[in-house]
Structure 1
Amino acid sequence: MFLNFNSNKMFFYFTLMFSTLITISANSWMSCWIGLEINLLSFIPLISNSKNLLSNEAALKYFLTQSIASINFLFSILLKMILLKNFEIHNLISILINSSMLMKMGSTPFHFWFPNIIEGLSWFNCFILMTWQKISPMILLSYYMNINFILIILIFNVIIGAIGGINQTSLRKLMSFSSINNLGWMLSALMISENLWLFYLIFYSFLISIMCFLFNYLNIYFINQLFIMNMNFSIKISFLINFFSLGGLPPFLGFFPKWIIINFLMKYNFYIITFIFIMMSLIMLFYYMRIIYSSIMFNYLKMKWFKIYIKNNFILFINTFSMISLLGMTISTFFFM
């Protein structure tokens, strides 16, 4: 029975990856819609768990929101086919298609389902929802992008992602608002170039995978667990480095893709957007620093017989990856000069 359960999960993971490939390689809007539906139906069994009511609730909410987005997308492409020669409503159809894709990836102003669903997921499913599930909508968004509409959306993404995480006590909700903030950076990268978007997505996926793996390994879901648990000091230093890297503080790895996007935004004279991006990144760094400072400095009554260790080689490996961006940024300055 256990082998059967694992084989079923592997089948759904394979279908999840295969459906994304169907969507991004399709040559018609209807094929894209079919790929999105297969993706939806393969992810729901992965997040539902008969022993956890929160997971079942998250699966139901995810199904409802994604179904609404799919219906909106199907209506938009049918409207586009029927009124193909009418260029007056071209702008409206592009906004409808963009809105359905933004709803699928959890972007503002359709982000309300995103933190609530992540609250009921395991860390591995959180990682999938924050990274892999954004690939198909992003690619479809790049096919039919309304630039003026996306400019407004990415500004709201960055602002709400930064402000929404200030008073959060759940680390999963904190990571979800961080994902919304990074979605604004991804949309700006997608406006500039698809290669730049892919570059940013790879860096973000690497950083968020480290955070999710550490939280899952230590079985941490709330901020107060970082204070109470008797962790080794090297683990706390690892959290510090990776939080700062995720927030985009130089010279950590997360600053490198943000720095490239800022260079391009300045090159195309988006000075106000660049200013908003930098200020919202400072707000995110503020509450990341508040969490890390409290976890390192607070002295709680700890159980002396319960101490958590991770092999130092693993921590050294993670921290080395977080610090190598200094060399990369130094070399890349010659290309931007």
Structure 2
Amino acid sequence: MFNNTAKIMFFFILMVGTMITVSSNSWLGAWMGLEINLLSFIPLMSDNNLMSTEASLKYFLTQAIASAVLLFAIILMYMNNFPTIQNNLMFSNLIIYSSLLLKSGAAPFHFWFPNVMEGLSWMNVLILMTWQKIAPLVLISYINWSNFIYLVIILSTVMGSLGGLNQTSLRKLMAFSSINHLGWMLTAMRASESTWLIYFSMYSFLSFSLIFMFNNFKMYYINQVFNSFFNSKILKFCLFFNLLSLGGLPPFIGFLPKWLVIQLLIVNNQYILMTIMTVMTLITLFFYLRLCFAAFMLNYSENNWINIMQMNNFSFKCMLFFSFISTFSLILISLIYFIF
């Protein structure tokens, strides 16, 4: 992507669009930032093949509908009948929530997300999973909390968990994992801005660690994972520790943001919501563990030689570094907390 100067320009415009939305002091300015962000991501998606063209068209149509609904809600608020959001709080909140959740890909507005992810390259998948969620989530955090969001949280965790059970594509697996994490982020948003930013930062880091490995070894389907890494046990451990960390298995660092959200729900006496979210996350962990178990226990053949050139590679060192942070950070944080 970064060998093309035009794509570098669109990538910077993409970041500027998000910054305009986040820093805007009016809804119209936020909508303009979202439109700039959308129109700059479309050229980044197209890689001159049929799947990416189809994905970019689906993404454009979905986001255009969401933008139109958002603009409709903004115009309603600016009209004389609805001068402020408080005059018709429930109606305007529902419209704005729906359009922003459609933009971010949360259930029940997630129908486009796995299909678009399937047609993208790994770097575009990373942008769609992380950066493209910042602007809608920040705008959602500006709106007053309503009961509608509880339904979205439950549906996102349920759809994200059950949808990934029968997937063979790694990109669709990551898409349903992202929908599940989005439910947790919306719950973290109820606590404070810092809580969901911590969750989003951890999620972005773990997604980057995994996608860095998938992109480096050109893996797109589960059977490619089983047939890879015969010559290096370290790489196999790096990949699956990152997967389990993304699923939120203790003692990996991915458990820390989930721990914070569970503690928040217990403090607020929301035991039913906490139980549903935890059980659904266990289902997510199940299909990650199924992946790891098959790769570690069943497919154990390996070569008698070790690829020395791979050990000295910069990418290999980066993978080791990311995996070390993902695996041991929670233990180190706990030790530092107890010492000081």
TM over 0.5: yes
1:11 aligns with 2:9: yes
User: Displacement, 1:314?
Assistant: 3.8
Length-normalised TM-score, structure 1: 0.92
SS at match of 1:220: coil
Q: How does 1:216-295 map to 2 (within 5 A)?
A: 216-231=215-230, 232-295=232-295
Q: Say yes or no: does 1:31 pair with 2:24.
A: no
Contact kept in structure 1, 2:77 and 2:83, CA below 8 Å: no
Aligned to 2:63: 66
| Identity %, equivalent residues | 48
Q: CA deviation at 1:330?
A: 5.3
Which residue number corresponds to residue 200 of structure 2? Answer: 201
| 2:187 matched residue in structure 1 | 188
Residue 80 of structure 1 is matched in structure 2 by: 77
What's the offset of the Cα at 1:297?
2.7
Classify the secondary structure of the residue corresponding to 2:147: helix
SS at 1:147's partner residue?
A: coil
Q: 2: distance between equivalents of 1:272 and 1:332?
A: 30
Between the aligned partners of 2:40 and 2:95, the Cα distance in structure 1 is 25
Q: 1:73 to 1:235 in 2, by over 3 A?
A: same
1:43-86 Cα shifts (integer Å, max 9, x gaps):
00000122x11000001000000000000000011111112258
1:211 maps to amino acid: L
Cα 1:110–1:21 change in 2 (3 A) is same
Corresponding residue for residue 316 of structure 1: 320
Aligned residue in 1 for 2:333: 328
Determine if contact 2:145/2:190 at 8 Å carries over to the other structure.
no
Query: C-alpha displacement at 1:304, in angstroms?
Result: 8.9
When residues 95 and 28 of structure 1 are mapped into structure 2, their CA distance, relative to the original with a 3 A threshold, is same
Q: How many Å apart are 1:7 and its aligned residue? A: 1.3
* Structural RMSD (CA): 2.4
- Given residue 264 of structure 2, which amino acid in structure 1 is its aligned partner? F
Structure 1 residue 298, shift from structure 2 partner: 3.1
Q: Does 1:165 align with 2:164?
A: yes
With 102-111 and 301-310 compared, the bigger mean Cα shift is at 301-310
- The Cα offsets for residues 206-251 of structure 1, whole Å up to 9 and x where unpaired, read as 0000000000001000000111235321111112211110010111
Following the alignment from structure 1 to structure 2, what is the Cα–Cα distance between the partners of residues 78 and 334? 55
Structure-2 separation of matches of 1:233 and 1:172:
24
Given that residues 235 and 310 in structure 1 are in contact (C-alpha distance below 8 angstroms), is that contact kept between their aligned partners in structure 2?
no
Residue 89 of structure 2: aligned partner: 90
> One-letter code of the match for 2:32?
I
Offset from partner CA, 1:246-275 (integer Å, 9 cap, x none): 010111010011101111111111111111
Structure 1 85/317 Cα, relative in aligned 2: closer, same or farther at 3 Å? closer
Q: Deviations over 1:280-334 (max 9, x none)?
A: 1111111101001112233488899997945564443223202111232455589
Letter of the 2:190 partner, please give it: M
DSSP-derived class of the 2:180 partner: helix
Task: Say if 1:229 and 1:302, in contact at 8 Å, map to a contact too.
Answer: no
Structure 1 counterpart SS, 2:4: helix
Which runs of 5 or more residues in structure 2 are unaligned? none
Contact 2:117-2:125 within 8 A present in 1 as well: yes
Contact residue 49 and residue 56 of structure 1 kept, 8 A? yes
Residue aligning to 1:112: 111
Matching residue of 1:20: 18
Is this contact kept in 2: 1:106–1:114, CA < 8 A?
Answer: yes
Say whether the 8 Å CA contact 1:98–1:146 is kept in structure 2. no
> Partners in 2 of 1:270 and 1:34 — Cα distance?
37
Matches for 1:109-188 after TM superposition, within 5 Å: 109-188=108-187
Distance across 1 between alignment mates of 2:311 and 2:125: 22
Change in 2 beyond 3 A, CA 1:158/1:333: farther
Alpha-carbon distance between aligned partners in 1 of 2:251 and 2:331, rounded to the nearest angstrom: 5
Three-state SS of the structure 1 residue aligned to 2:165 is coil
Letter in 2 for 1:166: L
Aligned pair in 2 of structure 1 residues 293, 142: CA closer, same or farther (>3 Å)? same
